[in-house]
Amino acid sequence: MARRRIGFWYRFAAVLVKPPLVVLLKRDWRGMENIPAEGGFITAVNHNSHVDPFAYAHYQYNTGRVPRFLAKAGLFKKGFVGAAMRGTGQIPVYRESTDALSAFRAAIDAVERGECVAFYPEGTLTRDPDGWPMTGKTGAARVALQTRCPVIPVAQWGANELLPPYAKKPAVLPRKTHHVLAGPPVDLSRYYDREMNPDLLREVTEVIMAAITAQLELIRGEKAPENVYDPREVRIAQRRKAAAKSKAQQEEGQGT
The closest alpha carbon to 254, from 242, 246, 243, 240, belongs to: 246
Burial of 52 (0-12, 13-18, 19+ CB in 10 A): buried
The closest alpha carbon to 10, from 72, 77, 67, belongs to: 67
The set of residues, in sequence order, having a beta carbon less than 8 Å from that of 217 and lying 6+ positions away, is 223, 224
Q: Are 140 and 151 in contact (CB under 8 A)?
A: yes
Report mean pLDDT in 10-residue bins for the chain, 256 residues.
63 85 96 96 97 94 90 77 79 66 84 94 94 96 96 98 92 96 98 95 98 98 96 85 74 68
Q: Where in the chain are the domains?
A: 7-230
d(CA 171, CA 164): 8
pTM of the complete model: 0.88
pLDDT digits (tens, 9 = 90+) for 67-97: 998 877 777 777 777 777 788 788 887 765 5
CATH number for region 7-230: 3.40.1130.10
pLDDT digits (tens, 9 = 90+) for 184-224: 999 999 999 999 999 999 999 999 999 999 999 999 999 99
